[in-house]
Structures are given as structure tokens and as C-alpha cells.
Chain A
Amino acid sequence: MNSLLDSPQPHGAHIGRGFANEPLFAPATGSFVLHGLLFGALLFYGLLSGFFHHNLWGNPGTGGAIQVTLVSTALPLPADQPPNQNVLTTENPSKAPAPPAPKAEQKVDETAIPISGKEVKKPQKQTAPKTQPHQPPPKPDYRAQFGEQAGSSMPRATMAQPTASNGPVSITNGDFGSRFGWYVEIIKRKVSQNWNRYEVDASTPKGASAEIYFRVNRQGAPSGFRISKTSNSPTLDQSCLRATQRVDTFGDLPRDSNDQWLDVTYDCTY
């Protein structure tokens, strides 16, 4: 065993000492050369096929590409009202809040004949709920809140509250935005309509914004989504990403633009 560890001689020679009659050096080197050739051939093939692209998934071009589009879940209508839990829609929403539902009191049956030996349950006062290790999801409240509130309990696109800024501010690089501002408006509108704010964790600080990058092809279909700048709130990032993915198409790119596709970065601000 020691001879294996501290022998400075080449491997082949050591083996040759043990099996002196079998020539192994030449076949071993031949095997090395063969494996080397195979490996090199594989590398070369990989390199070569890299130059000839076909069947690229998500490729906006034709030929074998399968483009997966996510279906939009929202009503394709503009949302002018801030979201609330009302299940009833009205034409004339008012700013006044709806009255709260009256609490149902536990009734005591006065006419019940007390049976001796059986303990009568007294109406329990509503004690504060103890914190449970597993919070069940809140029971959905189907109560219609009258008070002329616009309804939007449908997972319909909700729009972010318009801030006190002075009108639309879209920063555009390249001259696409200045030539085809209406198309940028369409992109902005469709994605913000598909953005569900309730997907975002309520503890996210106001003003946090996530930036999503995607690419729009000639037919207006977006692809290649990725989070280009995170907002440090994973729920906001994901909901913004999903909002962009929900759009099937923004409509054909303007005919006057010679672009094959448009790179878009979109900010969702909470």
C-alpha cells in the first residue's frame, strides 16, 4: 500500500511492474485520446448547434415556438373607484361609508322549561378570541353594504390611488413614447387593470414599487417577464409580475413603428 502513495513513477509503469506481461500503456493513452476526441466533438456540436436556433420556446417568431399566455381574470373595464368589499354595484357611488351590520345577539329562550338535573347554558358573553397557532382564513362576508358604494369585490383589476402628482408622468427612453404615447397608455392601462392589490401583503410600506421587465412582440403579445427591480416585498413583486402576465395582448404595435418588438419596464407602486 505504501508503495502506491509515495511512488513517484507514472501510473502505467507502476502497474506494469505488477502485471509485466500485459501492455497497458498504449491502450490507456489511446483511450484517453478517444475520450478526449469524444468530449471535444460534443463541445463542438454544442457550439455549432448554438448558432442554428430552432424551436425556441417563447420565441416571438414562427416555427415550433409555443407561447403560453395566461388568461386575464379581470373584467376588461376601466376601474374608476377605489376597491372595497361591496358585492353590489351602483351607478352613483357615494363617499360616505356604509353602515356596519348589526351584531346578532344570542337569544335566551324564555319559554324553555328548565329540566332538573340538566344544566341550563347561560348566554355566553363574547370573549376576546384567544390567539390560535393557525389563523383560519376570514369567512367571506356576502352582506351587501347599502350606502351607494361602488361594488368591486370581484377580483377585478383595481387601480392604484391616483397620487397628487401633476398628471401622467411616463418616462420613456427612445422615441417610441413620444411618437406613440397612446400605445404606452394602453400598456399602462391594461397592466394596471390586471393588478390585484389585495394580493400584496398589507404590511408592505406605502410607496414601495416593483419593476417588471417584459417584451412585447409585433402582435402585442408580452413575453420574457422578469422582475428587474425588486421592491423588497415578495408579494408585491409577484403580484406585479402576475399583472403583466395576465395580459394576452396590448394590440398590434403601431404600424408606423418599424420595431419588431418593444422592451417595456413597468413599475407597480403600492
Chain B
Amino acid sequence: MKIHFRILPLLLFLLVCLAPPQGRAQDWVHTGTNLGNDRIRISAADFKRVGADPQTPALKATFDATLYNDLANAGIFDLVSKSMSPQTTPGSPQEINLTQWSDAPANAAMVAFGALSATNGRLVVYGWLFDTHNTANPQVLGKQYNEAASDDMARTVAHRFADEIILRLGGGINGIAETKIYFVSSRTGSMEIWAMDYDGQNQHAVTHLGGLSLSPRISPDNTRLAFASMGREGWAIRMYSLELGRMVSFPAGATGGSNLAPAWSADDSKIAFSSARTGDSQIWIADPSGGNLHKITSLKGPNVSPCWNPRTNAQLAWVGGRTGLPQIYTMDQDGANVQRMTDGGYAISPSWAPNGQLLTFSWNRKYGPGDPGGQDIYVMDIASKRWLQITHESGNNDFPSWAPDGRHIVFQRSSGGRSAIWTMLADGTDQHQLTRTGNDKMPNWSWK
């Protein structure tokens, strides 16, 4: 077969074109179990101070402390304590000596460092995340922030940088450093809705209605806050707009009194709540504007505290009283397929995990005569109904709420007549108190 020289380049060209595109741009790795520990050992270095502005040391102190706490709270790191890290403050990739950080006593696998300056009223932060064991290509992250110079912004920038690190190293789950917790506080005399950062900072009141407001629920887009408030007609679901700074109307939630426990679906399209307008408390669903109101349960006994499956937005968990004692049930959003989750005791306040597979709720398994007292937070896998008890202190632990990363739970702990908001990792470790003033209840973690 004669191949003309003119055709040969054409043939070669065709061959190249028809070559499978998979041949380019791929790489491969081989890894497995039995290959070491799970927590990443990370070191958060003090950032280098740049410039002589008198504001800088205070802002830098806030920044360093906030970054350290955010990484410590993340639940996935083994943070090198400040006394074990080298005392240097490298401010740029040229200044860092990686062997210092990877050797004992730090033994860090990752190091976060950078430079901070506050000049002319602008806070400028350069941050890097380096892999200490990879001297050829150590950079994992390189970030730059430029904001107005103030304590709040120093905290915000630290939160943002920590979130970037957690997103990078935590396998695609967003960090929670910029999320907020909404709760009820009576420290001003009346029960109002308050908000705070996820670490307990910046606690401030949101509503000033002067009455009784309970069970705040923030919308997934962080613009509206739904809550139950005692008014002239009894308990009504009311809506506060954070953007407008005032109450907005929610007509569906005002009829008949005894409308409680609003719950947003994750796609912002529906609110579920319990209402006794037909006699017994049943679960109702409406649009956030109040339209399309319909009842989805017709079961005996009070049916309260609905919460949506944030993954599918098509299922709800709620507390039903048809067996006499409150138990946790799940159902589809049209009321079908009712499943009972708990097998006895006194179970209340369900909250559905962001991954859609787990429920957390408050349960007293030994309710009844001879009850030793105490209500504890449990985590249950919905498919298998296996549960894990994650608090076991004395006192009442109630109203658990998942963080959007699925790793943290915020809850209310009452003991000795006072209640406070506590936070912990979803396996029950690392419990610490967030609020210390007044009586604080019913926390709700924001969606983002």
C-alpha cells in the first residue's frame, strides 16, 4: 500500500485528533487505611507585625487569638500549642524555615503564618498555609485581605482565613467560623431574640418587642428570622427581617393562637410549624410569605417541633404525642410514611444533620416512676436507629441544633435554675459554655 508523503501528515494529524482526551491531564495516587493518624497536626504561628502604626499590636493580638481559637474549635485539627511552636514570626514564604516547624517539639504537618499591618485605617493581612513536609512545593494556600482597620474586622478576617484552611484541609466541608447562633435571652427583662458569633463573641439583641419570644429560626439566606411570639391572640409565628431591621408580616402564623416552633427548609421555600387552630396541635407548612398554607398531619396528640431534612427538603422530623409520651417521628412532607424513631422515654427537640443521615434530639430514656432525672442530647442514625448519648452531665440538656458543617452541636444546658448555651463537637467532646449572662435558651445555628 503506497502512502503518499502528503497524506502522511494528514494521517498523523487525524490520529492525534482522535486520540482519547483522557490521555492528557491525569495523575494517580495510591493510598489506604493503616497509614497513620486522622487529625492533622497544624501550627498557627503568630503573624508578623508590619509597619509602626500604634493600632497594629492590638489588632494583631485579636487576629492571632481568633485564628488560633477557630482552628482549635474546628474539630479536625491537632493544634500545636503556642509554647511548642518556634518563637519566630515568619511574615512571608521567604522568611519561613520549614524544618523548624516540622521538627520536634512542634512536629507540625501544616503551618499557617503571614503578615498583618494596619496603616492609614486599612487592615492588610497576607496569610499562607504551608505543608512542612513538602519543601519543593509547600504552598497550600495564599490569601490576602484588605479591610477597614477595627477589632471586628480583625476578627472577621481571622474567621475568613480559618474557614479557608478548614475548607482546604477538611475535605470540602465549609468552616463555621463566620456562622452565627441565634438564641433567646432574658437578660434585658423580657425574652428577646439575640444573636452571637459561633464562638460566643459579639452577643447582641435582635428583637426589642418587650414580650415573650421563643424558638428563633434564621432563614437559609440569613435575611429573615422566624420565631414564636406571645401576642394578643396568643402564640403567633412572626418574622423579622434582618435586612430591613424591622418586623415583616407572616399572615399564616397568626391564626388561632398556639402557633409554635417554625422551621425553615434548606431551600428557603417552605416553613413548617405547629398550630393548634384545628383543636389538636398539628404540623402545618406555608411559604415564607404566608401563602400555600396547608396541614400535613392529622394524628392524635400534640404534634410539635418540626424540622426539615436539609439534604432532601422533602422530609420532616417532629415530636408526636400519640403514644402518650413525646416521641420523635419522621415523615414525608405530604404527611405520608410516618416512621417512629425513639422507642420510649421522653424525646423532644429534634434537629436534622446537614448530611441528612443523623438526627440529634433531647431524650430522657428513663422517664417515669423512679426517674433519676436529667435530659441528655443523643445523636441517632436514621437508617439504623442506632444512637449515641453525647451528654451525660447532671442537669437538663435540651434544644440541640446542628452546625452547618455537621461537626458541631449547640445546645441549652440548665442546672440550678439557670440555663446557658453550650457548644460541643458532634461526638460529645470539647463541650464549653458560650453564654454566661442571664438565662439563655433555644439556640439555633445559622446555615452559613
Chain A residues proximal to chain B, CB less than 8 Å: 71-73, 75-80, 87-91, 140, 142, 144, 151-156, 159-163, 165, 167-182, 184-193, 195, 209, 211, 220, 247-252, 254, 256-269
B188 part of interface (Cβ distance < 8 Å) = no
Surface stretch bound by A, among B143-151, B252-260, B292-300, B380-388? B380-388
Contact between chains at A88 and B389 (CB < 8 Å): yes
Q: Which residues of A have CB within 8 Å of B429? A: 89, 91
Given the interface pairs A76-B355, A176-B27, the reply to whether A209 lies near B32 with Cβ below 8 Å is yes
Q: Which residues of B have CB within 8 Å of A195? A: 33
B96 CB to nearest chain A CB (Å): 16
B167 part of interface (Cβ distance < 8 Å) = yes
Contact between chains at A71 and B311 (CB < 8 Å): yes
Q: How far is the CA of A163 from the CA of B384 in the complex (A)?
A: 31
Contact between chains at B34 and A163 (CB < 8 Å): yes
Contact between chains at B27 and A259 (CB < 8 Å): yes
Contact between chains at A165 and B34 (CB < 8 Å): yes
Q: How far is the CA of A220 from the CA of B26 in the complex (A)?
A: 13
Which residues of B (16-54) have their CB < 8 Å from a CB of A?
A: 24-40
A71 CB to nearest chain B CB (Å): 6
**Which listed residue (A75, A80, A155) contacts B407, Cβ 8 A?**
A75
Given the interface pairs A87-B388, A144-B389, A154-B381, the reply to whether A263 lies near B28 with Cβ below 8 Å is yes
A51 and chain B: residue at smallest CB distance: B18
Contact between chains at A89 and B427 (CB < 8 Å): yes
Q: How far is the CA of A151 from the CA of B76 in the complex (A)?
A: 18
Contact between chains at A174 and B171 (CB < 8 Å): no
Given the interface pairs A170-B29, A258-B25, the reply to whether A87 lies near B34 with Cβ below 8 Å is no
Contact between chains at A78 and B133 (CB < 8 Å): no
A250 CB to nearest chain B CB (Å): 5
A176 and chain B: residue at smallest CB distance: B27
Q: Which residues of B have CB within 8 Å of A75? A: 358, 379, 406-407, 426-427
B178 part of interface (Cβ distance < 8 Å) = no
A130 CB to nearest chain B CB (Å): 30
Q: How far is the CA of A8 from the CA of B172 in the complex (A)?
A: 76
Q: Which residues of A have CB within 8 Å of B36? A: 162, 167-168, 188
Contact between chains at B38 and A170 (CB < 8 Å): no
Contact between chains at A179 and B405 (CB < 8 Å): no
**Which listed residue (A140, A170, A177) contacts B35, Cβ 8 A?**
A170
Contact between chains at B136 and A248 (CB < 8 Å): no
Q: Which residues of A have CB within 8 Å of B269? A: none
The size of the chain B interface, using a CB distance under 8 A, is: 61
Q: How far is the CA of A161 from the CA of B36 in the complex (A)?
A: 9
Given the interface pairs A71-B355, A160-B34, A168-B35, the reply to whether A181 lies near B134 with Cβ below 8 Å is yes
Q: Which residues of B have CB within 8 Å of A251? A: 167-168, 170-172
Beyond A156-B427, A249-B171, list 17 extra A-B contacts (CB 8 Å). A75-B358, A89-B392, A151-B427, A153-B387, A156-B388, A162-B37, A172-B31, A173-B28, A174-B29, A188-B35, A248-B172, A251-B171, A254-B140, A261-B26, A262-B28, A265-B31, A266-B31
B64 part of interface (Cβ distance < 8 Å) = no
B321 part of interface (Cβ distance < 8 Å) = no
Q: List 20 A–B pairs whose Cβ atoms lie within 8 Å, in order of A's numbering.
A: A71-B356, A76-B405, A87-B388, A89-B389, A140-B386, A153-B388, A156-B388, A162-B37, A172-B29, A178-B134, A180-B137, A182-B140, A182-B168, A187-B29, A250-B171, A261-B26, A262-B26, A262-B28, A266-B32, A269-B34
B428 part of interface (Cβ distance < 8 Å) = yes
B163 part of interface (Cβ distance < 8 Å) = no
Q: How far is the CA of A133 from the CA of B140 in the complex (A)?
A: 58
B58 part of interface (Cβ distance < 8 Å) = no
Q: Which residues of A have CB within 8 Å of B390? A: 89, 151
Contact between chains at B425 and A77 (CB < 8 Å): yes
A62 CB to nearest chain B CB (Å): 14
Given the interface pairs A78-B38, A80-B37, A159-B38, the reply to whether A182 lies near B169 with Cβ below 8 Å is yes
B77 and chain A: residue at smallest CB distance: A78
B173 part of interface (Cβ distance < 8 Å) = yes
Q: Which residues of A have CB within 8 Å of B379? A: 75, 154
Q: Which residues of B have CB within 8 Å of A144? A: 389, 392
Contact between chains at A181 and B27 (CB < 8 Å): no
**Which listed residue (A160, A170, A175, A257) contacts B31, Cβ 8 A?**
A170
B443 CB to nearest chain A CB (Å): 20
Q: Which residues of A have CB within 8 Å of B33? A: 159-160, 188, 191-192, 195, 267-269
Q: Which residues of B have CB within 8 Å of A167? A: 36
Contact between chains at A89 and B388 (CB < 8 Å): yes
Q: Which residues of A have CB within 8 Å of B37? A: 78, 80, 162
Contact between chains at A259 and B26 (CB < 8 Å): yes
Q: Which residues of A have CB within 8 Å of B388? A: 87, 89, 151-154, 156
B75 part of interface (Cβ distance < 8 Å) = yes
Contact between chains at A186 and B169 (CB < 8 Å): yes
B131 part of interface (Cβ distance < 8 Å) = yes
Q: How far is the CA of A179 from the CA of B37 in the complex (A)?
A: 20
Q: Which residues of B have CB within 8 Å of A89? A: 388-390, 392, 427-429
B162 CB to nearest chain A CB (Å): 16
B14 CB to nearest chain A CB (Å): 12
Contact between chains at A249 and B26 (CB < 8 Å): no
The list of the 3 closest CB pairs from A to B, nearest first, reads: A267-B32, A78-B38, A89-B428
- Chain A CB within 10 Å, residue with most, of B24, B40, B172, B387: B172
Given the interface pairs A165-B34, A169-B35, A174-B27, the reply to whether A182 lies near B131 with Cβ below 8 Å is yes
B118 part of interface (Cβ distance < 8 Å) = no
Contact between chains at B38 and A181 (CB < 8 Å): no
B112 part of interface (Cβ distance < 8 Å) = no
Q: Which residues of A have CB within 8 Å of B38? A: 78-80, 159, 189, 192-193
B147 CB to nearest chain A CB (Å): 24
Contact with A along B70-84 (1 / 0, CB 8 A): 000001100000000
**Which listed residue (B109, B133, B139, B407) contacts A76, Cβ 8 A?**
B407
A173 and chain B: residue at smallest CB distance: B28
Contact between chains at A71 and B357 (CB < 8 Å): yes
A266 and chain B: residue at smallest CB distance: B32
Q: Which residues of B have CB within 8 Å of A140? A: 386
Q: How far is the CA of A266 from the CA of B30 in the complex (A)?
A: 6
B304 part of interface (Cβ distance < 8 Å) = no
B110 part of interface (Cβ distance < 8 Å) = yes
Q: How far is the CA of A180 from the CA of B168 in the complex (A)?
A: 12
**Which listed residue (A80, A209, A260) contacts B39, Cβ 8 A?**
A80
